[in-house]
Amino acid sequence: MVMRPLDRKLVRDLFHLRGQVVAIALVVACGVATVVTTRTAYESLVSARADYYARYRFADVFAHLERAPDVLRARIAEIPGVAAVETRVVADVTLDVPGLSEPAAGRLLSLPDGADPRLNAVHLRGGRPLDASRRDEVLVSEAFAQANHLRVGDAIGAVLNGRWERLRIVGIALSPEYIYEIRPADLFPDPRRFGVLWMSRAALGPAFDLDGAFNDVSLALVPEANQEEVIARVDRLLERHGGLGAYGRDEQVSARFIEDEIAQNRVTGTVLPAIFLGVAAFLLHIVLSRLVSTQREQIAVLKAFGYPKRTVALHYLLLAMTAVAIGALLGIGLGLWLGSLVNGVYREFYRFPRFPYEPGAAAVAIAVGVSALAAALGALSAVLRVLDLPPAEAMRPEPPARFRAGWIERAGLLRRLATPGRMVARNLSRRPVRAGLSVLGLALAVAILILARFFSDAIQTLSDVQFRSAQREDVAVSFHRPLSSHARFELAALPGVLSSETYRAVPARIRFEHHSRRVAVMGLHAQPSLRRIVGRDGRPVSLPADGAVLTSHLARLLHVEPGDVVTLEVLEGRRPALTVRVTTLADELLGLNVYLEDRALARLLEEEGSVSGAFLRVDAAASDALHQRLKRMPAVAGVGNRLAALASFEATLARNLGVMNGILVAFSCVIAAAMVYNSARIALSERSRELASLRVLGFSQREVTQMLLGEQAMLLVLALPLGFWIGHGLAKLLADAYAWELFRMPLVVTPRTYAYASLIAVLAALGSGALVRHRLRGLDLVASLKSRD
Amino acid sequence: MVSAGAKDVAVREALFEARGLSKTYVVGEVVVSALAGVDLDLFRGELVVLLGPSGSGKSTLLNILGGLDVPTHGRVRFLHHDLTNAGEEILTRFRREHVGFVFQFYNLIPSLTARENVALVTEIAARSMPPDEALGLVGLADRLDHFPAQLSGGEQQRVAIARAVAKRPDVLLCDEPTGALDCETGKRVLEVLSRANQELGTTTAVITHNAAIAGMADRVIRMRSGSITGIQVNEQRVHPAELEW
């Protein structure tokens, strides 16, 4: 095929500008890659979730209660809007896992005998279904089995309602209720110490004295049902049966986590590509503007020879489109690869029967569309200039650069600068918009670097506040039901226990005006030393003798302010409705909590110092002996280990943040390098004559390089504080967006992060500076002097 | 007589000695011979005009003398330094310490004022004169703070001359200094050059294809096709104001 001359010019111009074309293509690639990565990752997650929820009949509404007879099921099914009801027995138990010294926590769920559950069906990964005639058979969740190397045929110990039993594993299973398998109130999954187990109703019911009764109910709703209405009716029905309050998928822990992940992905998938493609458009703008001014005469000749304006303008638009298309192709490839990596990380956290990485054409189409838009935006002004240029005028060379004393000059700021410094300052102030945009581009790179580190900073703070400041116990023990305060002496007598602090936890619904939330009301010691209430600044909040302390986020959700009186509808025992004045808000990072001094809570509940559990400080040497005892204590429902939780938290973090951090750091390096390279390259081409003159006047290679790169250094110096500011702003944006019920992201940007962002930006700048210096060495002095620019 | 002889020797001290200089360029696939065996001495304090049509090799010769280029064959010495095989760094130092350049298109730095353009050079030179004095010398004492874009062509060229002489170079090399100027402006520029040569004693070489300028020189060196075709010594230098073209 014969190429038309204009096409040939296009190819040659692209080759001539290859350095800048590559820089633009890389920035576009990063933007497109972020679009493709985040979109395909979350689309895969959304489609796997939709498929799983539908095929395994994930319920819409959940409720836990003390005990209700099976006949109540029919009454629940009659509630308008309810499509299906499943009742079952659920129990939290302590597990003795081979190879694990401390006790693990297990959640036992009953499955109907010999039938599939109507809701929340399990997917069998291995082994066989339960045999209802065998009382000791269990299915265990896949994550728990894998973490503890459990196989079909293995046995684990469990304390069922006070009796120690040996349970045989007959199958490995998954459930839509536990895609994200996490112990309630935990932040990250700890599959080694928390697992879900399924037993037949015939075995589990009698074990917990729930023969012919249930303590948990799930509902599916018809599409047009009013969920709030259904929840209110369920609550009324269950009130007499010790109902703990029904809730929808929005409060179901696993569903909530996935929903939050998708929301977070949407934010990242919008903010990051916008930054990258904006930078790409800007780079295109300066490269094309420069090209059009150096090719004025060529444009004039083309027009003079009768090429229509449109054809010539299209030629320059095509140049932009080609650079962007290269980047888009690269970005799609990169994005698909990174998407599969993210999918791999997801697989570790989210357990689906089928979780394929299936990138849709839509994500690719969006990426292409958005990048084409960036190309068009970037090319716009250059193309308009091509259209406007009258042939006769264009034949004349561009008028010389005009410099005047600007406001900086008049303010006398340059007087102290040496001459090269003045040149730098004047060159920047002569094109303030371009300099400003360059500074903005570099600042965005710095901001992204800050963002990348902010996640680590925030999580580190969260972990410090939670695991070092608030939680100071070694072991936390919770009981199945409240015990008398004498339990404290029994705990103190256990091997290795150095000190203990009991607490009272009461499930309740907190109500203020028309807002309400399900919470656990905690009664703590007046002067706690093992478990304190700590705000995000790391300072402990003291408990008032009267009145309640609320987590700030809960107060916000309920629109409560200090001094307001809230109602606590207790969801156990006599179910009294207590009124309490809120005295203090604690800006806690985890959970939604209500705290009272334990004596005040006892007074309100009219009880004599019942305890729900205790925090223990333990002599490490005796911890194995203590764990052995705790595993078999009938009263103990769960045992938490602070150091183990901290370790799993940090390990999870390293895996999860590693990938994302790597991507962000690499991408922001690309922006920083591309910005510096391009602006130094343009400066070099615009001022090669000037630089050659300086060389002729006796300035050394090094001095001239310093003058050229000094300008870029100046831009970087201006960009750093701006980048810090934008980075902090983006971090705040994310911290605000990540204010969830389960945890809040603290807005912490450490000096180390600022230093790190600056260092990476400077390194990227030095790298591209080296490329330009190489070009400067090749400057032809004689030829540059001869030409009239 | 003895004193006269001594003066004569002093005047005739050769600043540059070029022997058998030749330069060939490869332009695309064509080999161009720009200089073909040129022998030339430039003496301290003299004003030389290199006259020739374009392509005669005069610019190449000037570039080699000024340390912007190196010959393909032959030797060139400046005082006691051999420039023939000097590296980039030595040539840069040579230009910085000894040579002042004036170009056809002035080559001022657009972002610097007249005074600053001169200061740019005086800051890096050892025995320079104050920029204001240099600009006074070229008659621009009242234009110190103007940027190049605010000056006429002749004024810009005079700033370029001030910049070149301010560091008190041993030699001033001017490549078509009036090439972009009209006659009257050109004569003013030549006057400035002539004055700098006489008052400061700077050896000056002016390249031109304008034969009318030859009258102001001590010696006129004619070139054609890369060779020197003749050297003419003017007994009496004509004042630039009296030149006509």
More confident residue, A84 or A735: A84
Write down the CATH superfamily of domain B44-70+81-242.
P-loop containing nucleotide triphosphate hydrolases (3.40.50.300)
Residues of B with CB under 8 A from a CB of A: 63, 66, 68-69, 88-89, 92-93, 95-97, 99, 101, 103, 105, 107-112, 116, 119-121, 123-125, 145, 147-150, 163, 175
For the residues A118-139, what does the mean pLDDT come to? Answer: 92
Distance CA A31, CA A692 (A): 37
Helix (H), strand (E), coil (C) string for A310-379? HHHHHHHHHHHHHHHHHHHHHHHHHHHHHHHHHHHHHHHHECCCCCCCCCCHHHHHHHHHHHHHHHHHHH
Residue A694 forms contact with B (CB below 8 Å): yes
More confident residue, A288 or B40: B40
C-alpha distance from residue A341 to each of A212, A454, A656, A658 (Å): 48, 22, 11, 11
Is residue A368 domain-resident? no
Residue A218 has pLDDT above 90, yes or no: yes
Residue in chain B nearest A687 by alpha carbon: B109
pLDDT band at B8 (very low <50, low <70, confident <90, very high): very low
Residue A699 forms contact with B (CB below 8 Å): yes
State whether residue A171 is helix, strand or coil: strand
Structure tokens at B158: 């005079």
Do you know the residue count of chain B? Answer: 245
Domain ends where: A216, A239, A256?
A256
Residue A412 forms contact with B (CB below 8 Å): no
Is residue A769 domain-resident? no
Structure tokens at A284: 């295109």
Residues of chain B in contact with residue A421, where contact means CB-CB under 8 angstroms, are: none
Structure tokens at A533: 């209430």
Structure tokens at A650: 């940090």
Residue A643 has pLDDT above 90, yes or no: no
pLDDT at site A422: 78
Q: Per residue in A334-345, pLDDT tens?
A: 999 989 988 888
When mean pLDDT is compared across A42-51, A196-205, B117-126, B146-155, the lowest value belongs to B117-126
The whole domain housing A188 covers 54-256
Residue A300 has pLDDT above 80, yes or no: no
pLDDT at site A69: 95
Cβ of B149 and A400 within 8 Å?
Answer: yes
State whether residue A105 is helix, strand or coil: strand
CB A294 within 8 A of CB A389: no
pLDDT band at A692 (very low <50, low <70, confident <90, very high): confident
pLDDT at site B1: 34
State how many domains chain A has: 2
Mean residue pLDDT across chain A: 85
Residue A291 has pLDDT above 90, yes or no: no
**Phi-psi category of residue A383: left, alpha or beta, with phi > 0 → left and psi -120 to 50 → alpha:** alpha
CB A570 within 8 A of CB A242: no
A673 burial type by CB count under 10 A (0-12 exposed, 13-18 middle, 19+ buried): buried
Is residue A102 domain-resident? yes
CB-based burial, A271-295: b 16+ in 10 Å, e otherwise: bbbbbbbbbbbbbbbbbbbbbbeeb
Residue A783 has pLDDT above 80, yes or no: no
CB B137 within 8 A of CB B199: yes
A298 burial type by CB count under 10 A (0-12 exposed, 13-18 middle, 19+ buried): middle
Residue A75 has pLDDT above 90, yes or no: yes
pLDDT at site A789: 43
Residue A701 forms contact with B (CB below 8 Å): yes
- Please state the ipTM of this predicted complex: 0.74
Q: Per residue in A695-721, pLDDT tens?
A: 888 888 888 888 888 888 888 899 999
CB B204 within 8 A of CB B170: no
Domain ends where: A256, A275, A305?
A256
For the residues A529-543, what does the mean pLDDT come to? Answer: 85
Domain ends where: A256, A278, A304?
A256
Q: Per residue in A600-612, pLDDT tens?
A: 999 999 888 889 9
* Percentage of the residues of chain A whose pLDDT score is greater than 90: 30
Is residue A460 domain-resident? no
Mean residue pLDDT across chain B: 86
pLDDT at site A704: 84
E strands along A525-564, which residues?
A: 548-551
For residue A93, which of A34, A37, A158, A32 has the smallest C-alpha distance?
A: A158
pLDDT at site A155: 94
- Angle at CA of residue B18, ends B12 and B19, nearest 5°: 120
Q: Per residue in A719-743, pLDDT tens?
A: 999 999 999 998 888 788 777 666 7
pLDDT at site A538: 79
Residue B3 has pLDDT above 50, yes or no: no
When mean pLDDT is compared across A18-22, A119-123, A211-215, the lowest value belongs to A18-22
For the residues B127-151, what does the mean pLDDT come to? Answer: 89
Of B103, B123, B145, the CB nearest to A785: B103
From the centroid of its chain, how far is CA A733? 12
Residue A14 has pLDDT above 50, yes or no: yes
Neighbours of A745 (CB within 10 A): 23
Residue A107 has pLDDT above 60, yes or no: yes
pLDDT at site A402: 67
Helix axes A751-777, A701-737, angle to 10 degrees: 150
